[in-house]
Amino acid sequence: MSVKGKTVLVTGSTSGIGLGIAEAFAAEGANLVLNGFGDAAEIEKLRAGLAARSKVTVTYDGADMSKPDQIAAMIAKAEKQFGAIDVLVNNAGIQHTAPIEDFPIDRWDAVIAINLCSSFHTVRAALPAMRKKGWGRIINIASAHGLVASATKVAYVAAKHGVVGLTKVVGLETANTGVTCNAICPGWVLTPLVQKQIEARAKTNGTSVEHESKALVAEKQASHKFTTPEQIAGLALFLCSKSADNITGSAYSIDGGWTAQ
């Protein structure tokens, strides 16, 4: 089963991992629904460039993943245009770091809403059409923090553990329907989300960004190497292949040995 001609919605695909996944699926001939924030002109350039390079249909929906009504409207619009969403990639995410006593309540609410609740809302809305077609792939971008914890990341770790749990339940509820649901758990990937954390460390420690970049990866990952968006996209494509038909409810690490320790 190739993804050529299928419709793929990647939440948070204007940057980083989501953009890498969107590019890889378009290169394989899938139509895309892009989503995420950013400068409108830049997003339009991205959308048109992807469509022209890959000769696929690419649309953009600016739905805010913290807003259930906007999520429902995005799925309904995509289904109206394409018939169904064949592959749903729940990727949008944000980070906030602070000890729990200092963790702002509004940041807790935002991280849980965008990193966890959005996946409940997208799956709930997109699953009926997948069931009807008898084929679908739901891929949730969780994190190494869906399996293990780090200090100062209470909301992120809670949300990502929640995503792994949601993945298991959806995997069970869709068993033998042609739909599968799996999570990908990346370690460090050098995207704007992580760049901000590296810069904050350099400021706190009075060191260079380059030094903190190396130190951050070495602290957690045996490989001492960042995972790339392209590698994550490769795993997502594999989960859409025939070989992966019987893989569901699983969480796949791609973390240079982080969670092996």
Contact residues for ligand NAD, defined by CB under 6 A: 12-18, 35-38, 64-66, 91-94, 114-115, 141, 143, 186, 188-189, 191-194
Q: How far apart are CA 52 and CA 30, in angstroms?
A: 13
* First vs last C-alpha separation in the chain: 35
**Least distance (Å) from ligand NAD to the CB of residue 240?**
18
Residue 226 CA to its chain's centroid (Å): 17
Provide the token pair at 121. 């809302």
**Least distance (Å) from ligand NAD to the CB of residue 96?**
11
**Least distance (Å) from ligand NAD to the CB of residue 158?**
13
43: left (phi over 0), alpha (psi -120 to 50) or beta: alpha
**Least distance (Å) from ligand NAD to the CB of residue 17?**
4
Q: How far apart are CA 253 and CA 186, in angstroms?
A: 6
Choose between 82 and 226: whose C-beta lies nearer to ligand NAD.
226
Choose between 16 and 136: whose C-beta lies nearer to ligand NAD.
16
Determine which one of 82, 135, 156, 188 is catalytic: 156
Q: Which residues does residue 60 pair with via DSSP β-bridges, in sequence order?
A: 34
**Least distance (Å) from ligand NAD to the CB of residue 245?**
25
Q: Active-site residue 156, yes or no?
A: yes
Choose between 16 and 171: whose C-beta lies nearer to ligand NAD.
16
Choose between 17 and 179: whose C-beta lies nearer to ligand NAD.
17
User: Which residues are part of the catalytic machinery?
Assistant: 156
